A and B are shown apart, each in its own frame.
Chain A
Amino acid sequence: MTNPVIKNAGYILVHTPDMILHNGTTATVEKASNPNSEYISHLSESFRRYEEVVNYAPNQVFIGNQKPETLIDLEMPWHTQKVSGERYGRFGEIMPQEEFIAMIKMADAFDLVRLTDDFTAMVKEKLSESSYFTESEIELLKEGDSKDVIIDILNDHHGEGIFHKGTLVGCVKRAHDLDTNLNAHVMLENLVVKASGVLAVKHLMRQTEVAPEAIEYVIECSEEACGDMNQRGGGNFAKSIAEAMNFVNATGSDTRGFCAGPTHALINAAALVKSGVYKNVVVVGGGATAKLGMNGKDHVKKGMPILEDCLGGFAVLVSEDDGISPVINTNLIGRHTVGTGSSPQAVITSLITQPLDKGGLKITDVDKYSVEMQNPDITKPAGAGDVPESNYKMIAALGVKRGELEKSQLMDFVKTHGMPGFAPTQGHIPSGVPYIGFAVDAIKAGTLNRVMIVGKGSLFLARMTNQFDGVSFVIEANSGISACAEDSGYDEKEVKKLIAEAMRKLAESLTE
Chain B
Amino acid sequence: MDLENQKRVKDAAEKFGAENVVVIIGAAEAEAAGLAAETVTAGDPTFAGPLAGVELGLRVYHACEPEFKDEVSADIYEEQIGMMEMVLSVDEIIEEMQSIRNDFCKFND
Chain B contact residues, majority secondary structure: helix
Chain A contact residues, majority secondary structure: helix
Give Cα distance in the complex from A383 to B28, angstroms.
10
The answer to whether A385 and B79 touch across the interface, beta carbons within 8 angstroms, is no
Give Cα distance in the complex from A200 to B84, angstroms.
37
Give Cα distance in the complex from A27 to B42, angstroms.
26
Q: Which of A239-247, A392-400, A427-435, A482-490 contacts B (4 or more CB under 8 A)?
A: A392-400
Count how many chain B residues have C-beta atoms less than 8 Å from C-beta atoms of the other chain.
14
Count how many chain A residues have C-beta atoms less than 8 Å from C-beta atoms of the other chain.
18
The answer to whether A393 and B87 touch across the interface, beta carbons within 8 angstroms, is yes
> From residue 78 to 104 of chain B, which have CB atoms closer than 8 A to chain A?
79-84, 86-87
A178 is an interface residue with CB less than 8 A from chain B: no
A-B contact pairs, 17 of them (CB 8 A): A343-B80, A343-B81, A343-B84, A344-B83, A345-B79, A345-B81, A345-B83, A346-B80, A383-B31, A383-B35, A385-B28, A390-B87, A393-B87, A394-B87, A400-B86, A401-B86, A410-B86
The answer to whether B32 and A394 touch across the interface, beta carbons within 8 angstroms, is no
Residue in A closest to B46 when the chains form the complex, CB atoms: A297
User: Shortest beta-carbon distance, B55 to chain A, in Å?
Assistant: 22
**Per-position contact with A for B27-61: 1 when CB-CB < 8 Å, else 0?**
01101100100000000001000000000000000
A74 is an interface residue with CB less than 8 A from chain B: no
Residue in A closest to B31 when the chains form the complex, CB atoms: A383
Residue in A closest to B84 when the chains form the complex, CB atoms: A344
The answer to whether B29 and A345 touch across the interface, beta carbons within 8 angstroms, is no
- Having A390-B87, A394-B83, A397-B83, one finds 14 other A-B pairs with CB under 8 Å, namely A297-B46, A343-B79, A343-B81, A344-B83, A344-B84, A345-B83, A348-B83, A384-B29, A390-B28, A393-B86, A394-B87, A397-B84, A397-B87, A401-B86
Give Cα distance in the complex from A491 to B83, angstroms.
44
Give Cα distance in the complex from A344 to B82, angstroms.
10
Given the known inter-chain contacts A343-B80, A343-B81, please indicate yes or no for A407 contacting B31, CB distance below 8 A: no
The answer to whether B35 and A345 touch across the interface, beta carbons within 8 angstroms, is no
The answer to whether A345 and B82 touch across the interface, beta carbons within 8 angstroms, is yes
**Per-position contact with A for B64-89: 1 when CB-CB < 8 Å, else 0?**
00000000000000011111101100
> From residue 84 to 120 of chain A, which have CB atoms closer than 8 A to chain B?
none
Given the known inter-chain contacts A397-B86, A397-B87, please indicate yes or no for A385 contacting B29, CB distance below 8 A: yes
